[in-house]
Amino acid sequence: MQVAEIKDGVAILKDGTLRSVLLVSSINFALKSDDEQSALISGYVSFLNGIDFPLQIVVQSRKLNIDQYMERLDAAEKMQENELLKMQITDYRSFVRELVDIGEIMSKRFYVVVPYDPLSNSSKGFFSRIKEAFSPAKTLQLKEARFRERKEALDGRVRQIEGGLASMGLEVARLDTQGMIELFYTMYNPDTFMNAQLTEMGKLRIDR
C-alpha cells in the first residue's frame, strides 16, 4: 500500500503527499430538462476551468449491504403483538433477502480525491521545492508542523472543490479518519468487509 498513515481525515502517502476524499452524491442527468442539462454542463466546465491541480474521480460498486435494515425488521417483528402483521413482516424480510441475494443488487458510491503535493505548490520558490525533493517526508516521520502546514493547503483545495460541486446541486461530505479507513479497507478487502465490519476507532483498545 502507498498509504503510510491516516490522521485527521487525511491520508499521508509514503512520498509525503496528502490526500483528502470527498463523498459526492449523483444526479440523474437524463431526467433533467434541456435548460437544466445545459446549466449543469456549463457549471461543470466552469468548475474544471477553476482548478489548477489534478483530481481523481472514483466510482465504487459494492454489493448492497442490508444487514442493519434486516436487524431493524427483526426487532420490529419481535415487538409486534398483532400476529397477522408479524407474519407480514416475516414474509417481507424473506422477500427482501431473496431479492438482494438473487438479483445481486449493487450500490454505487462516488468519490473525489483531492491531492496535495508540496512539490507542486507554486507559492514556493524553485530552490525550496528542490530541497523538499531531496528530503521527502517518509511514513510516520512527517513532522507535525509540516503536516499542519500541508493540511492547511489541502483544506483550501477541499473547500474550493466542495464549493464548486455544491454549485451544481451536488451534496458533498468529506470523509473523516474512520471513513477513510473503511474506504481503504473495503477497497483492499472487499470480501472480508462483507463478513466482518470494522470497529469504530473510539472503541479500539490496545492491550499492553
Q: Is the pTM of this model over 0.85?
A: no
Q: Where are the domains of the chain?
A: 3-62+108-196, 65-104
Digit-coded pLDDT (tens) for 178-193: 999 888 888 877 666 5
The pLDDT of residue 183 is 87
- In the chain, % of residues over pLDDT 90: 33
**The three-state (H, E, C) secondary structure of the chain, written as one string:** CCEEEEECCEEEECCCCEEEEEEECCCCHHHCCHHHHHHHHHHHHHHHHCCCCCCEEEEEEEECCCHHHHHHHHHHHHHCCCHHHHHHHHHHHHHHHHHHHHHCCEEEEEEEEEEECHHHCCCCCHHHHHHHHHCCCCHHHCCHHHHHHHHHHHHHHHHHHHHHHHCCCCCEEECCHHHHHHHHHHHHCHHHHHHCCCCCHHHCCCCC
- In the chain, % of residues over pLDDT 70: 78
